[in-house]
Chain A
Amino acid sequence: MAIFFMNFENSDKINNKINSEEAKLLKQAKSGDSKAFSELLKSHLPMIYNIAYRMSGNAEDASDMTQEAMIKLFKNLDSFNFQSKFSTWVYRVATNACLDEIKKQKRHSNVLSIDNEKETEEGALQFEIEDDAPTPDVSLEKREVRELVTAALTRLSAEHRAVLVLRDIKGMSYEETARILNCGEGTVKSRLSRARKKLKEVLENEFKIDGTYFKD
């Protein structure tokens, strides 16, 4: 009797978190069926790729991140315990994979500050970066502004990028964003506030995009 209720409760729980078709595919994917896994993740792949694209800022890195995220998801299907929606779990794993990749790239890249001089045998070199930012008098189309905003996003920390992408770009609720980032809603709000401010500062200071471009 107890078993019956337990099974009933469990199946009810599964139905809330995953539909029957997903449950079937999930079972097959867990056994190592790659086609079932592809089918299971088919509807989530665009979201994963877009999260990766907005966080990385380019298609190439986005593809790498997406592939990494998909492999992690495939390998860790057993860790999905029906405590959250399947999509939430998928985006959490994908976001974490992107965050890991960004942090990895940061560690391996030699970041040079434009303010510093580099000593060489031929003397001190000063970095001069071509300023391709638009001047205020040049009118930019909205598409161009978006591209600059995408580029500006990559100047932010991985955590700030993640919260902006999930909440502002992908339009997720505070609750879902908090679940994906595995933190509280209050943390999401304060982190989002700081991320927005930082993004605006980067756009204004580094990309010479003042606030007038954002007005409707």
Chain B
Amino acid sequence: MQKDFNKNIKNSDLDCDICKDMLYDYVSDNLSTENKTAVEKHIGLCPRCAEELTEVKGLISMLNGFEEVPVPKDLELSLNKALEETANEIKIKNKRLRFRRVTSAIVPFAAAAVLAIGLYSGGAFDKYINSDSIFDGQSTYTEQGESNNADNPENFENVDKGENANGASDSEKAEKVEKYEKYENFTDKNKKTDNKNKGAVSEKDDNKKSDNVKSDSKKSDNYSSKSQVSDKSNDSNTNKSNISENNGRDTDKPANTGNADNVNNTESAEQVYGTASQNNEEDAKTAEGVSSGGGSGRVRGGVTDDAESQPAVVTYGLDDLGDESTDVAADKSDNSEKPNNSDKSENSKNIGEMVPASCEIVTSNPEAYASLGLSIDGGSISYTLWESIRTIAVSTGDTLNAYDFADASVNSTISVTLIKK
């Protein structure tokens, strides 16, 4: 530790011990001018310190006089060998670096090209362009995969209407018509099991095409982009003209084919169709089709939204889940023309993929959420959206808003209210 010599400077009379310490700083040129003067003055008066200074200088002089040691010959030989080995490592490293530079330059372009191709082909683009509404976007995404399927009943309806089979051969047409008839039988069977909405379903069946014509064209504004994108992705174009013609209420449905009675899943017999409020024709939307999972939930769907610029909020009541059979019902708020459907099915689609984020869930049994693809675990609710599982911490009575369910950027008025009965 360096001593503080400042107090000695004032006296200019240095103690010999302090002076000896300072001598090393003196020879190292590490003293201030005042200290240097003080040391020199003391040395002039003190022979012992002067001798010490001579010794220190002698030691430094000896160090300065150390001769250079020659590099051993064997070191040079071993060094050459070691350097050659190192050279190989460096060459490999340089090659890797060059490769990395090249790939880092190419990869962004390649990725951009792949992305562009992907977007152009419509697959990924469809998913996100329809994200104006979480509910509709999700449904559209689900439906698109099915609409591309030749076995999709939605396509059969289009064939039945004879509007979209222009590009198909007669045999193909006949085959599709045959399949559609099977589908019609299937849907009829389902409809028969619906005691609550039987009338609505039959009315819809009878007036399938006329419903489309009657549908409010204004309501299609919010969903026109969805329909267009679906057109792109549909290679067979079986839905194209149908969608373009069905700009009404029914096109708002998740089936995305312009018909209110489209079944989302051929295996799913549990469909809930919400009803659009006629009080607000522009914004009223049908409730999304909901397939209950596990066959143990009772869900009611209904459109209650009346805001002009906001999508409808669907309310789902979740009753006791004691019975094995699922009774899924959609409540109509105002429009009795809207089809409501309920059914049972053991082969129903996982509702987690279909349950809308825009819903109000009323339940006395938290396990009901699990049956809906939602699960409550330690005060949190998990649901599936965009094929990813999300979790929100909730407690009974909480109201969850749209931003709780998805990104805040998503424009929606979706809300879920958890009410314990």
Interface residues of A (CB under 8 A from B): 30-34, 37-38, 45-46, 49-50, 53-54, 59, 62-63, 66-67, 70-71, 74-75, 142, 145-146, 149-150, 164, 168-169, 171, 174, 186, 189-190, 192-194, 196-197, 199-200, 203, 211-216
Minimal beta-carbon separation of A160 from chain B (angstroms): 12
| B25–A193 CB distance below 8 A | yes
Among all A-B residue pairs, the 3 with the closest Cβ atoms: A211-B55, A214-B58, A168-B63
Bound CA span A186–B25, Å: 11
**Residues 360-389 of chain B: 1 if any A CB is under 8 Å from the residue's CB, otherwise 0?**
000000000000000000000000000000
Q: Which of A75, A169, A190 contacts B64 (CB 8 A)?
A: A169
Contacts of B116 in A (CB 8 A): none
* Chain A, interface SS category: helix
- Name 12 A/B residue pairs within 8 A (Cβ), A-sorted: A38-B79, A66-B71, A66-B75, A67-B78, A70-B79, A71-B82, A142-B62, A169-B66, A214-B55, A214-B59, A214-B62, A216-B58
| Among B89-97, B101-109, B225-233, the stretch in contact with A | B89-97
Minimal beta-carbon separation of A78 from chain B (angstroms): 9
Q: Is B61 an interface residue (CB 8 A)?
A: yes
Q: Is B111 an interface residue (CB 8 A)?
A: no
Contacts of B78 in A (CB 8 A): 63, 67
Nearest CB to that of B88 among chain A residues? A32
Interface size class of B (residues with CB under 8 A): 35 or more
| B83–A38 CB distance below 8 A | yes
Nearest CB to that of A216 among chain B residues? B58
Contacts of A71 in B (CB 8 A): 82-83, 86
| A67–B82 CB distance below 8 A | yes
| B30–A190 CB distance below 8 A | yes
Bound CA span A71–B70, Å: 20
Q: A32-B91, A34-B86 are in contact. Are A50 and B69 (CB under 8 A)?
A: yes
**Residues 313-355 of chain B: 1 if any A CB is under 8 Å from the residue's CB, otherwise 0?**
0000000000000000000000000000000000000000000
Minimal beta-carbon separation of A171 from chain B (angstroms): 6
| A50–B55 CB distance below 8 A | no
| B79–A75 CB distance below 8 A | no
Q: Is B84 an interface residue (CB 8 A)?
A: yes
Q: A75-B89, A212-B55 are in contact. Are A194 and B24 (CB under 8 A)?
A: yes
Question: Which residues of B49-81 have CB atoms within 8 Å of chain A's CB atoms?
Answer: 51-52, 54-56, 58-66, 68-72, 74-76, 78-80
Contacts of B27 in A (CB 8 A): 193, 196
Minimal beta-carbon separation of B5 from chain A (angstroms): 12
**Among A33, A50, A71, A168: residue with most chain B CB under 10 A:** A168
| B87–A49 CB distance below 8 A | no
Q: Which of B24, B69, B70, B71 contacts A197 (CB 8 A)?
A: B24
Q: Which of A46, A193, A196 contacts B71 (CB 8 A)?
A: A46
Bound CA span A21–B28, Å: 37
Minimal beta-carbon separation of A144 from chain B (angstroms): 12
| B28–A38 CB distance below 8 A | no
Contacts of A203 in B (CB 8 A): 59
| B68–A196 CB distance below 8 A | no
Q: Is B17 an interface residue (CB 8 A)?
A: no
| B59–A199 CB distance below 8 A | yes
| A215–B58 CB distance below 8 A | yes
| B89–A171 CB distance below 8 A | no
Q: Is B2 an interface residue (CB 8 A)?
A: yes
Bound CA span A37–B52, Å: 47
Contacts of B28 in A (CB 8 A): 189-190, 192-193, 196
Contacts of B62 in A (CB 8 A): 142, 145-146, 149, 214
Contacts of A45 in B (CB 8 A): 71, 76
Additional A-B contacts beyond A38-B83, A186-B30, A216-B61 (12; CB < 8 A): A31-B91, A32-B88, A34-B84, A38-B79, A49-B71, A66-B75, A74-B83, A146-B65, A149-B63, A169-B63, A193-B24, A196-B24
